[in-house]
């Protein structure tokens, strides 16, 4: 049977665009449909604009530290509207790049909401297109709990477009997004409280990393409130918000920002027209080849709920394109040793197993750890300290995990991720010559394991 396309991709985010571009490059007839913005969450309301705001927030510390190096600066003034306008201009530029990447690759781009009609048909803007295969790459969407007054809260989607910087902000959540935005708002001068319903944020990260970040954020004056959750939100006559907590306390704010998880974006996708199974969390079930329970329909990225990171979606998109249209180059995706960063202030960089995960997996571990004041801060009054940690298998000497809290942690750990992926042992770390003077050299000069 002849179809209009060999592959129809629903969603022009990181994974969808990567799969579409490379499939087209391999000679396939490819279409992509996007109803919101080219580049998906990461480019528009995620990683990229967030990192730009983190840079903006960090300048407050840079100005303060400059005096220790002989710089005399006048009173610093921050303008939120300038930052957001410049951010918007950069995102528009990236949208154009994504558009060109697709069209220059020979991909047919449909801007509108796509809906699956059957296993080989997709409808966009009232027009139906037949396709041999359908790839669902629609990503995720922020969730705000169903509490009284939830309409007064915002998510990351809205935070990037606030007309002005709120004076008082309540950030609710304990994951990447919550910690990062708490750092952003606080760094830009807002009175910020981070509320998390658990004992300590960043569940799943190494315990030492979590504790160290808690100490550093507290030293910076960020109000951390654990075992705290909001029961309701009320808009007051003056426009401010009153958040009533489950313990009865009332906190006043100008903005309540929720970062309490994301759901797969499956709204009005037409899944009821095909046999595509969802798991108990609501994500699309796929096998190791990203195939759903309907053979002609595949899915990848945040919508399948595996590792919800942009580089992972890119790798999944590449794997799908190769398997379908360039099978001689196909390699199964390995989800082990995936590095990641949390762009809090200070940053977190991590790859591999945490100490707790290594022990749970049955490893006998040696822990190497260092806490020190970065050289850049030695001429300042800033008390921030850096944490570096290696988790090593005591029997094989293999480095199982590498963790850092401190300036440029993501940049440093990216390089170390290559070593861990290659199976580096602690001996190899020890035999590696460090770059001096640098913070990164600490990872190859850790000699004495810590006792627990």
Does residue 408 sit in helix, strand or coil? coil
Indicate the annotated binding residues for FAD: 51, 302
Residue 451 is predicted with a pLDDT of 79
In DSSP terms, 5 is beta-bridged to 131
Low-confidence ranges of the chain (pLDDT < 50): none
Does residue 428 sit in helix, strand or coil? helix
User: 10 Å Cβ neighbour count for 263?
Assistant: 16
What is the domain class of 141-260 according to CATH? alpha beta
**CA atoms 273, 278, 282, 288: torsion sign:** negative
> 3-138+264-327 adopts what CATH topology?
FAD/NAD(P)-binding domain (3.50.50)
* Strand 114-118 to 121-124 pairing: antiparallel
Reference 285, options 275, 56, 37, 179; nearest CA is: 275
Q: Which residue has the tokens 């409280």?
A: 193
Q: Where are the domains of the chain?
A: 3-138+264-327, 141-260, 337-446
Residue 1 is predicted with a pLDDT of 62
Reference 300, options 272, 280, 322; nearest CA is: 322
Q: What's the CATH code, domain 337-446?
A: 3.30.390.30
What would you report as the CA-atom Rg of the chain, rounded to the nearest whole angstrom?
Answer: 24
Reference 85, options 59, 61, 56, 46; nearest CA is: 56
* Helix (H) or strand (E) run with residue 80 in it: helix 80-104
Give yes or no on whether 141-260 and 337-446 have one common fold.
no
DSSP letters spanning 118-142: ETTEEEETTEEEEEEEEEE---EEE
Tokens for 10, please give them. 């629903």
**CA atoms 112, 115, 117, 120: torsion sign:** positive
Does residue 318 sit in helix, strand or coil? helix
Cα 412 off chain centre by: 17
Question: Could you give the CA distance from residue 415 to residue 399 in angstroms, rounded to a whole number?
Answer: 14
Q: Convert the pLDDT of each residue in 222-234 to its tens digit.
A: 999 999 999 999 9
Residue 58 falls in the annotated catalytic set: no
Cβ distance 261 to 282 under 8 Å?
Answer: no
Does residue 182 sit in helix, strand or coil? helix
Please report, for residues 46, 334, 406, the alpha-carbon distance to residue 179 in angstroms, rounded to integers and kept in the order given. Answer: 14, 28, 15
Backbone φ and ψ for 179, nearest 5 degrees, come out as -65, -40
Indicate the annotated binding residues: 51, 173-180, 261, 302
What pTM, to 2 d.p., does this model score? Answer: 0.96
The CA-based angle 99-101-102, given to 5 degrees, is 70
Indicate the annotated binding residues for NAD(+): 173-180, 261
- 222 Cβ contact list (under 8 Å, min separation 6): 182, 183, 186, 192, 194
433 burial type by CB count under 10 A (0-12 exposed, 13-18 middle, 19+ buried): exposed
14-25 vs 80-104: helix crossing angle, rounded to 10: 30
Reference 172, options 185, 189, 188, 187; nearest CA is: 185
Residue 93 is predicted with a pLDDT of 96
Residue 74 is predicted with a pLDDT of 87
Given the residues 58, 363, 403, 436, select the one marked as catalytic: 436
| 213-232 CB burial, b ≥16 within 10 A, e <16 | bbebbeebebbbbeebbbee
């Amino acid at each position: 049977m002849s179809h209009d396309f060999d592959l129809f991709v629903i969603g022009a985010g990181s994974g969808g665009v990567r799969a579409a571009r490379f499939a087209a490059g391999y000679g396939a007839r490819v279409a992509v449909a996007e109803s919101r913005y080219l580049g998906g969450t990461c480019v528009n309301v995620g990683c990229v604009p967030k990192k730009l705001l983190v840079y903006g927030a960090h300048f407050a510390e840079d100005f303060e530290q400059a005096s220790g190096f002989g710089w005399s600066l006048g009173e610093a003034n921050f303008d939120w509207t300038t930052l957001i306008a410049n951010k918007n201009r950069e995102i528009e530029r990236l949208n154009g790049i994504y558009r060109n990447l697709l069209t220059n690759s020979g991909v047919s781009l449909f801007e509108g909401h796509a809906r699956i009609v059957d296993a080989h048909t997709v409808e966009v803007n009232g027009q139906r297109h037949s396709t041999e295969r359908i790839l669902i790459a629609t990503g995720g969407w922020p969730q705000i709990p169903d509490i009284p007054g939830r309409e007064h809260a915002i998510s990351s989607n809205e935070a990037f477009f606030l007309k002005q910087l709120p004076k008082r902000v309540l950030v609710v959540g304990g994951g990447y997004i919550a910690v990062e935005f708490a750092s952003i708002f606080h760094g830009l001068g807002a009175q910020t409280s981070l509320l998390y319903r658990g004992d300590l944020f960043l569940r799943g990260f190494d315990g030492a990393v979590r504790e160290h970040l808690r100490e550093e954020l507290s030293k910076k004056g960020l109000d951390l409130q654990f075992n705290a959750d909001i029961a309701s939100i009320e808009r007051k006559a003056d426009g401010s918000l009153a958040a009533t907590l489950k313990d009865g306390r009332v906190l006043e704010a100008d903005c309540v920002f929720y970062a309490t998880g994301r759901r797969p974006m499956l709204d009005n996708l037409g899944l009821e027209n095909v046999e595509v199974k969802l798991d108990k969390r609501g994500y699309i079930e796929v096998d190791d080849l990203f195939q759903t329970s309907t053979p002609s329909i595949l899915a990848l990225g945040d919508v399948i709920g595996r590792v919800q990171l942009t580089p992972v979606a890119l790798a999944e998109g590449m794997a799908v394109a190769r398997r379908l249209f360039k099978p001689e180059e196909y390699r199964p995706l390995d989800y082990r040793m995936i590095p990641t960063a949390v762009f809090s202030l200070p940053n977190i960089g991590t790859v591999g197993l945490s100490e707790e995960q290594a022990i749970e997996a049955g490893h006998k571990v040696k822990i190497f750890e260092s806490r020190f004041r970065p050289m850049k801060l030695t001429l300042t009054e800033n008390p921030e300290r850096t944490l570096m940690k290696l988790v090593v298998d005591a029997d094989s000497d293999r480095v199982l995990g590498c963790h850092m809290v401190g300036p440029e942690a993501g940049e440093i750990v990216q390089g170390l991720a290559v070593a861990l992926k290659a199976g580096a042992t602690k001996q190899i770390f020890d035999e590696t010559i460090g770059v001096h003077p640098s913070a990164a050299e600490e990872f190859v000069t850790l000699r004495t394991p810590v006792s627990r």
